[in-house]
Amino acid sequence: MSDDFDISPEDLAARAAWLSFVGEMTQDQIAQELGISRQRAQRLVARAYAEGLVKVRIEHPVAQCLELERQLRNRFGLSKARVAPGLGERGEPLRAISPYAAHEFEQIFQDPAAKIIAFGTGRTLRAVIDQMQSVDGGHHKVVSVIGNVAPDGSASFYEVIMRIADKTNAPHYPMAVPVLARNDEEFALYRSLPHVQNTIALADQADVAIMGIGQMNENAPLLLDGFITRDELDELRKAGAVGEIGGHIFDQNGHYLDHRINDRMLGVRVPINESPVLCVGGGEQKIAPLKCALKGKLITSLITDETTAIEILR
Amino acid sequence: MSDDFDISPEDLAARAAWLSFVGEMTQDQIAQELGISRQRAQRLVARAYAEGLVKVRIEHPVAQCLELERQLRNRFGLSKARVAPGLGERGEPLRAISPYAAHEFEQIFQDPAAKIIAFGTGRTLRAVIDQMQSVDGGHHKVVSVIGNVAPDGSASFYEVIMRIADKTNAPHYPMAVPVLARNDEEFALYRSLPHVQNTIALADQADVAIMGIGQMNENAPLLLDGFITRDELDELRKAGAVGEIGGHIFDQNGHYLDHRINDRMLGVRVPINESPVLCVGGGEQKIAPLKCALKGKLITSLITDETTAIEILR
DNA sequence: CCACTAAATGAGCATATGCTCATAATGGGA
DNA sequence: TCCCATTATGAGCATATGCTCATTTAGTGG
């Protein structure tokens, strides 16, 4: 059973993790089995875990969370709500939400009926997609509803279309323009580009949109990622901005803001032609935006965590 | 976040496991979070794990196993072969095979096309089904190809139809007769019962059969479970018995034995009308039966573990 | 109401784990 | 070829974990 000569490095990590989690072996046993030092075994297992080779799921609907899901659906007329058990005050909400959301995503892609699935961007969606298992979704198309170019011209770091395509083997259609045009002429120019028109046309046919949500406080993703300046942020907030979905900024009633900056967002707004909008997000800062988005019926399904759900329902 | 008053006991176990695996908390932190002692936290996590609430999957195709799968397919003309990484000499083969097989089972039930899925019995299938996640397979039917009554009249312990139905929510059709009739008259009687005829008729339409495999040595399941006596075992072995699938005994060429005991097996033989037969099994004792079953084309797909695969291919 | 059995709990301890640091190996550029 | 920077490795140690055992609690039958 001991390997005569080493193979790939990742292979060994997977094998060590397998022996650890499935075989329930101690690190000493693994080391012996693979003919390596205990130290190395420990590192291999840790690495496999860190790299996401090891997927842990808890198969049990926690009663309190089910109840919260029911309340969310009723209160806001959602077609679907999923609430992940909280990880306590100090726990990152994303860590709790990701496995739950990843499972939902997998389900969506396992649907045999071919679909056009629109995606937003952001840290949340990135984290969820990293958690997904590979599924065969080659019959679907994934399309971005938002530009994938950062203000400095680099590829937007939190673009997710490529990653979701990797996991699902689906044909992918990024929107290869900036998130935000700098003025109206630039907006018109970008919008007129053939590949943009194609992508937008495809997005317009989306059967479902999967989106994150952004807050408009001092940690606004739009600000952190350099899409708007602090002055513009202040200006938007004065105009009533509370949150944004796919870069499109809305007010406390969940209505998209009529504002020159908002008008230059190149992407497609949700909801798209009555199609369902699945929003993933949680954490203290997302509470206000989520409440407003729910109020304005911008989203039709929600995946969040326990703490956030409680606050939203308060 | 700390619970004010306790809810269900299993709920708490799931929550503790969640905090442990997803939240990566130490037991002390979990204890504090849930307002219990560290001891209790430890036990809750262990319990959740033992009860199978925690599902661990390794997402990485180990190269050596892929190669073995390829060789198995080529050598025996299998439509599908899956090889789980071995757990070393001391590891239970079942422990390695179960997660792999469970995943395959889930895939089968996630197929949207309604199917009739026939099942054998045995320790192996039991273990695999315990590992399965719940899936929505209500559009399929599961039917047993073998009786579910033990010689003492009790329900056969390793019958799996109920359990698979639990996991998949599929309508289920057990075969409510003994595995083996005691003589030809009894055989004719049982076979004539209406509910048996119904079940057999359904099984005859199966789109796929999922089976274990039994050895005919001194640890033969048929002997251990009291379906045949030691004398009968010896007699069968003298007649060339090497293994059995669904109770139907075959020889070294994978041909069903023409023998009075074999003729009294009440179930349906695989393959059923050219339908695929997925066999799950591994371990030293299964090697000979598997080789012969493969030789006789009794099975069309195989899920096994690394060590067994190597031996089969030797 | 008591006594008995079985399960749940907490303390203490042996072991497994993962982190830090010092050292060795590896690899890329001059 | 040598040198430097980066990465991999192993030893030692602090901590987390899980097991055993003694004790308590809960549940059951007399």
The pLDDT tens digits of the residues spanning B64-85 come to 888 899 999 999 999 999 999 9
Residue A130, pLDDT score: 86
For A137-181, write each residue's pLDDT tens digit. 899 999 999 998 877 777 777 889 989 998 999 999 999 888 998
Band of pLDDT at residue B182, cut at 50, 70 and 90: confident
Judged by C1' against the alpha carbon of A40, the nearest nucleotide is D9
Please indicate, yes or no, if residue A204 is contained in any of the structural domains: yes
Of the CA atoms within 13 Å of residue A13, those in its CB half-sphere come to 17
What is the C-alpha to C-alpha distance for residues A182 and A151, in angstroms, rounded to an integer?
10
Total structural domains within chain A:
2
User: Quick one: A104 and A46 in the same domain?
Assistant: no
Q: Which has more confidence, A34 or A216?
A: A216
- Which residue in this structure is represented by tokens 């109020």? A295
**In a 3-state reduction of DSSP, which class is residue A15?**
helix
Tokens standing for A283?
A: 């954490």
Q: Give me the CA B281–C1' D9 separation in Å, rounded.
A: 39
* A98: nearest CA partner in chain B: B22
CB contact under 8 A, B14 and A64: no
- Which residue of chain A comes nearest to B131, CA vs CA? A59
Tell me which H or E stretch contains A128: helix A123-131
Q: How far apart are CA B141 and CA B108, in angstroms?
A: 12
Q: Is the CB of B198 under 7 A from strand D?
A: no
In a domain, A268, yes or no: yes
Give B16's contacts in chain A (Cβ within 8 Å): none
The reply to whether A36 has its C-beta less than 7 Å from any atom of strand D is: yes
Q: And the tokens for A5? A: 């000569």
Chain C nucleotides with an atom closer than 7 Å to a protein C-beta:
9-12, 15-20
With a pLDDT cut of 70, the percent of chain B lying above it is 97
- Nearest CA to B278 out of B109, B153, B154 is that of B109
Would you state the pLDDT for residue A154? 72
- pLDDT band, very low/low/confident/very high, at B23 (cuts 50, 70, 90): confident
In the structure, how far is the CA atom of residue A26 from the C1' atom of nucleotide C29, in angstroms? Answer: 42
Q: Out of A69-73, A303-307, B176-180, B234-238, pick the least confident.
A: B176-180
**Structural domain contains residue A85:** yes
- Inter-chain touch A22–B99, beta carbons under 8 Å: yes
Record the tokens describing residue B297, joined without a space.
């084309």
**What pLDDT, on the 0 to 100 scale, is given for residue A176?**
87
Mutation target to probe the A interface, by most A beta carbons within 10 A, among B10, B24, B58, B308 is B58
Task: Judge whether residue B176 has pLDDT over 60.
Answer: yes
Nearest to B200 by CA among B147, B271, B133: B147
Query: Which phi and psi angles does B244 have, rounded to 5°?
Result: -150, 150
Whether A60 sits inside 8 A of B14 (CB atoms) is yes
Residues constituting chain A: 314
In the predicted model, is pLDDT for residue B121 greater than 70? yes
**Rounded distance between C-alpha atoms, residue B87 and residue B183, angstroms:** 44
Reply yes or no: is the peptide bond before residue A194 cis, omega within 30 of 0: no
The pLDDT value given to residue B305: 93
Identify the band that residue B253 occupies on the pLDDT scale cut at 50, 70 and 90. Answer: very high
Distance CA B93, CA B281 (A): 8
Rounded, the Å distance between the CA of B61 and C1' of D12 is 36
Comparing CA positions, the residue from A278, A294, A274 lying closest to residue A286 is A294
Mean pLDDT of B85-91: 78
**In this structure, are A178 and A291 located in the same domain?**
yes
Whether B240 and B146 map to the same domain: the answer is yes
Q: How many Å lie between the alpha carbon of A4 and the closest alpha carbon of chain B?
A: 12
- Angstrom distance (rounded) from CA A212 to CA A267: 14
Q: Tell me: the pLDDT tens digits for B202-240?
A: 999 999 999 999 999 999 999 998 899 999 999 999 999
Average pLDDT over residues A238-255: 95
Which residues in chain A are contacts of B115 at CB distance < 8 A?
none
Chain A contacts of B89, Cβ < 8 Å? Answer: 1
Tokens of A2: 């001991």
Q: What are phi and psi of B273, to 5 degrees?
A: 45, 50
B133 touches strand D (CB under 7 A): no
Indicate whether B58 belongs to any domain: no
Q: Residue A298: inside a domain, yes or no? A: yes
A172 shares a domain with A40: no
B42 and B74 housed in the same domain: no
Pair of tokens at residue B35: 């307002």
**A123/A21 same-domain check:** no
Structure tokens at B208: 């796929």
In strand D, the nucleotides that come within 7 Å of a protein beta carbon are: 9-12, 15-19
State residue A206's pLDDT score: 95
d(C-alpha B84, C-alpha B151), whole Å: 34
Q: Are residues A101 and A156 in the same domain?
A: yes
pLDDT > 70: percent of chain A: 97
Q: Note whether A121 and A111 are within 8 A (CB).
A: no
Give me the CA A144–C1' C22 separation in Å, rounded.
Answer: 50
Q: Please report where in the chains the tokens 């004719």 appear, as a residue.
A: B188
* DSSP string of B168-233, one letter each residue: H---EEEEEEESB-SSHHHHHHHHHSHHHHHHHHHHTT-SEEEE--EE-STT-HHHHTTSS-HHHH
Query: What are the pLDDT digits (tens) for B263-294?
Result: 999 999 989 998 999 999 999 999 999 999 99
Domain assignment present for residue A299? The answer is: yes
Q: How far apart are CA A297 and CA A38, in angstroms?
A: 55
Average pLDDT estimate for A97-115: 90
Reply yes or no on whether the pLDDT at A303 is more than 90. Answer: yes
- Same domain as A81, residue A16: no
Question: Which residues of chain B lie closer than 8 angstroms to A22, CB-CB?
Answer: 56, 58, 87, 95-96, 99
**Which of the two residues, A152 and A129, has the higher pLDDT score?**
A129
Give yes or no: residues A77 and A224 share one domain. Answer: yes
Contact at CB, A52 and B33, closer than 8 angstroms: no
pLDDT of residue A4: 38
CB pairs under 8 A between A and B: 131
B56 beta partners: A56
Instruction: Note whether residue B224 is domain-resident.
Output: yes
Q: Which domain holds residue B41?
A: 9-50
pLDDT computed for residue A23 by the predictor:
85
CA atom of B64 to C1′ atom of D10, Å: 29
pLDDT greater than 60 at residue A201 = yes
Could you tell me the pLDDT band of residue A1, with boundaries at 50, 70 and 90?
very low
At B144, is the pLDDT very low, low, confident or very high (cuts 50, 70, 90)?
A: very high
A128 vs B contacts (CB less than 8 Å): none
Q: Please give the helix or strand (H or E) that residue B245 lies within, else none.
A: strand B243-245
3-state helix, strand, coil in chain A (%, to 5): 45, 20, 40
Q: For A2-14, how does the pLDDT look when each residue is reduced to its tens digit (9 = 90+)? A: 333 445 667 888 8
- The gap between B225 CA and D8 C1' (Å) is 53
Indicate if CB(B26) is under 7 A from strand D: yes
d(CA B14, CA A113): 34
CATH of the domain at A33: 1.10.10
Integer Cα distance of A293 and A243 in angstroms: 8
A59 contact residues in B (CB cutoff 8 A): 52-55, 133-134
Compare B4 and B111 and report the one with higher pLDDT: B111
**Whether residue A277 sits in one domain with residue A175:** yes
Q: How far apart are CA A293 and CA A215, in angstroms?
A: 11
